[in-house]
Amino acid sequence: MKKTLALLFLSTSLLIGCGGEAKKSEEKQGIKINSSSSSNEKVKEEGISEVYLSGNDQMKYNKSQITVSAGDEVVLTFEHVGKLPKESMGHNFVLLKKGTNVQEFGQEALEYKDNDYIPEDSDVIIVHTDMLGGGQKTTITFQAPEKGDYDFICSFPGHVALMNGIFTVE
């Protein structure tokens, strides 16, 4: 009888103890999740879409898709995170109008070395950054175009094949 009571007491203590610890653990996790998510949230200012894009020495953007809201002012920060100079591994961001043939544009851009591979008086460019070398950063601000999908590329010779993406306006 004493053994049965002792076993029953031990079992009850374990169940209560485990349940209590599980509840405390859930509370801790709940607090941790709630506090970290609210402290890591970036408050988006109404009417402004902030975008960060980088390019590296391996001819890659860090994003292949950018999405902004229609009518927003877009603040795009572009950074060349590599080490190579502009003359051998320059990068830029060029946003093209809908329907632009990206390969044809890239071929045309080759002729404009003195203008950092930006065709002068082009009617297919919405906006572009300066051509950057390793370690450089620039920011441009522009109005988001009408809703739809637009191509963005790097116009440095040969980069368009790897450095391209879709800029979506919702």
| Nearest alpha carbon to residue 130 among 50, 62, 48, 55 | 55
Write down the mean pLDDT value for the chain.
82
pLDDT higher than 50, residue 13: no
Neighbours of 170 (CB within 10 A): 10
Confirm or reject CATH 2.60.40.420 for domain 48-169, answering yes or no.
Answer: yes
46 falls in which pLDDT band (50, 70, 90)?
A: confident
Give the phi and the psi of residue 93 in degrees, each rounded to 5: -120, 120
What pTM did the predictor assign? 0.74
74 falls in which pLDDT band (50, 70, 90)?
A: very high
Q: What is the pLDDT of residue 7?
A: 42
